[in-house]
């Protein structure tokens, strides 16, 4: 009886422990009323996935030519673009500050500075050690330029949204005409992937409020708007994928190194654990 109880209890406890882990991990997320992001086969997915450097370069181009008209990414510095794993990394330039591509990219931006001779505020072309500049002098200016909405800084946007890169991709390609009965104010756009609650804007059946939300960003991507020089078709779908991959990298630039280190650490712990287990068996033989 007691043996049976101990066994069944162990099973119950095992199941409980697994359930605990799952509940703990998923419990923190309560789903919002939005469409689940689309599935994309990004190369960086999974424990061994890495970034496709060509895709990161194209993604940077889309970011620079489209998104940067409204958004900033101030947590990034130009130097990051040329560091190992980055879009413009070149093994010839271990120090990304020396990388001519990175220097040229930085020089396309003006950053605020002070003239040391006169003490006046000036701007100068950026250098690799500068951060990406602010887009607007302050949040009021940002709101005034975008119909009252503030375009969020995109540095860590993939970490700040459930679904990460897949969410960005789905948002950029997910704009549809609003369903009949949904009142969308001028300057607002309906997107089923955007988190929100549309009950107050909905004239139809209150039990079937459309999922998604509205946002003040018009669909930013248009076919052919950005020129790709590597032959990749210039479609909205590709633009969206590439810029999402770029933002995924920008949000966590050391991802590849992290995963590689992780594999080595796990192998090490596995071997060390095996050895310790052998020692343990030997030592405790006959003791318990």
Partner 1 sequence: MSEHPSTYDPKTGVEKWLDKRLPIVRLAYDSFVDYPTPRNLNYWWTFGGILSVCLVIQIVTGIILAMHYVPHIDHAFASVERIMRDVNYGWLIRYVHANGASMFFFAVFIHMFRGLYYGSYKAPREVLWILGCIIFFLMIATAFMGYVLPWGQMSFHGAVVITNLIGSIPVIGGPILTWLQGGFAVDQPTLNRFFSLHYLLPFVIAGVVILHIWALHVTGQNNPAGVEIKSKEDTVPFTPYATVKDGLGIIIFLFLFAIFVFFLPNSLGHADNYIPANPLVTPAHIVPEWYLLPFYAILRAVPDKFLGVVAMFAAIAVLFILPWLDTSKVKSMRYRPVMRWFFVIFVVVCLALGWCGAQLPDTPVIPGLPSFNLIDGAFNSYLWLTRFLTLYYFAFFLVIMPWIGLKEEPLPVPASISEAILAEHAKKKG
Nearer to partner 1, 24 or 206 (CB): 24
Cβ distance 151 to 241 under 8 Å? no
Between the alpha carbon of residue 252 and those of residues 20, 61, 91, 134, 159, the distances in Å are 29, 19, 21, 20, 8
Is 76 an interacting residue with respect to ligand HEC (CB under 6 A)? no
Is 69 an interacting residue with respect to ligand HEC (CB under 6 A)? yes
State how far the Cα of 8 lies from the Cα of 4, in Å rounded to an integer. 6
3-state secondary structure of 44: coil
Cβ distance 157 to 74 under 8 Å? no
Is 235 an interacting residue with respect to ligand HEC (CB under 6 A)? no
Q: Which stretch binds ligand HEC (CB under 6 A): 19-27, 38-46, 150-158, 267-275?
A: 150-158
Which member of 192, 220, 251, 253 binds ligand HEC (CB under 6 A)?
220
The single-letter DSSP state of residue 174 is -
The phi and psi torsions of 183 (rounded to 5 degrees) equal -90, 110
279: partner contacted, choices partner 1, ligand HEC, none (Cβ within 5-8 A by kind)? partner 1
Count of residues interacting with partner 1 (CB under 8 A): 56
Task: Report the phi/psi class of residue 86: left, alpha or beta, with left for phi > 0 and alpha for psi in -120 to 50.
Answer: beta
State how far the Cα of 193 lies from the Cα of 168, in Å rounded to an integer. 9
**Residue 154 CB, nearest approach to partner 1 (Å):** 12
Which chain residues interact with ligand HEC by CB under 6 A?
Answer: 62, 66-67, 69-71, 146, 149, 151-152, 157, 161, 168, 171-172, 194, 215-217, 220-221, 243
Which chain residues interact with partner 1 by CB under 8 A?
Answer: 1-3, 5-6, 9, 12-13, 16, 19-20, 23-25, 27-30, 32, 47, 74-77, 80, 152-153, 155-156, 159-162, 195, 252-254, 258-259, 261-263, 265-266, 269-270, 272-273, 276-277, 279-280, 283-284, 287-288
């Amino acid at each position: 009886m007691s043996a049976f109880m101990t066994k069944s209890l162990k099973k119950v406890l095992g199941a409980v422990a697994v359930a605990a882990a799952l509940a703990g991990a998923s419990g923190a997320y309560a789903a919002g009323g939005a469409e689940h992001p689309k599935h994309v086969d990004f190369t960086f997915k999974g424990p061994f996935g890495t970034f496709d450097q060509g895709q990161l370069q194209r993604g940077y181009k889309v970011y620079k030519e489209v998104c940067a008209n409204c958004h900033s990414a101030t947590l990034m510095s130009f130097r990051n673009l040329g560091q190992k794993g980055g879009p413009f990394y070149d093994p010839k330039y271990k120090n990304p500050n020396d990388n001519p591509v990175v220097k040229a990219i930085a020089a396309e931006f003006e950053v605020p500075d002070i003239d040391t001779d006169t003490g006046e505020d000036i701007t100068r072309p950026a250098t690799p050690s500068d951060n990406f500049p602010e887009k607007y002098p302050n949040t009021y200016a940002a709101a005034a330029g975008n119909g009252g909405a503030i375009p969020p800084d995109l540095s860590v946007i993939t970490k700040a949204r459930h679904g990460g890169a897949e969410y960005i991709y789905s948002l950029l390609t997910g704009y549809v005409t609003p369903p009949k009965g949904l009142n969308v104010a001028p300057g607002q756009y309906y997107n089923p992937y955007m988190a929100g609650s549309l009950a107050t804007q909905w004239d139809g059946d209150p039990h079937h409020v459309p999922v998604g939300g509205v946002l003040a960003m018009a669909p930013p991507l248009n076919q052919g708007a950005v020129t790709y020089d590597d032959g990749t078709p210039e479609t909205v779908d590709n633009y969206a994928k590439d810029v999402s991959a770029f933002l995924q990298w920008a949000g966590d630039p050391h991802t590849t190194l992290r995963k590689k280190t992780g594999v080595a650490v796990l192998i090490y712990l596995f071997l060390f654990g095996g050895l310790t287990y052998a020692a343990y068996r030997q030592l405790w033989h006959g003791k318990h």
